[in-house]
Amino acid sequence: MYSLKRNDSVSRVRFGFSVSKKAGKAVVRNRIKRVLKEICRINGQWFREGYDYIIIPRKGAIIKNFQDLSEDLFRLTRRIR
């Protein structure tokens, strides 16, 4: 079991990614998750510290490239503030 100190858990941003099997086979689902993880890593300033984020892409995410997904996620983070 992994435990965090209280101070670390408050200031961290954590992400969870869940891609439905409807999105495609494992290779496709994993690609979407890798791209989203990289977008979140590069643009960490978009997210408030101390929160956990669950990102669930829809079927349309398969056909989008890195730039399109990045713009969509940016707009989404602006809406939740």
What domains appear along the chain, each with residue ranges and CATH number?
10-80 (3.30.230.10)
Query: Which of residues 81 and 10 earns the better pLDDT score?
Result: 81
Compute CA 59 distance to the chain's CA centroid, rounded to the nearest angstrom: 15
Tokens matching residue 16: 């969870």
d(CA 22, CA 43): 28
Arithmetic mean of pLDDT over the chain: 87
Q: What is the pTM of this model?
A: 0.80
28: CB partners within 8 A, 6+ apart: 62
Q: Copy the structure tokens of residue 60.
A: 């349309």
Average pLDDT value for residue range 10-30 = 91
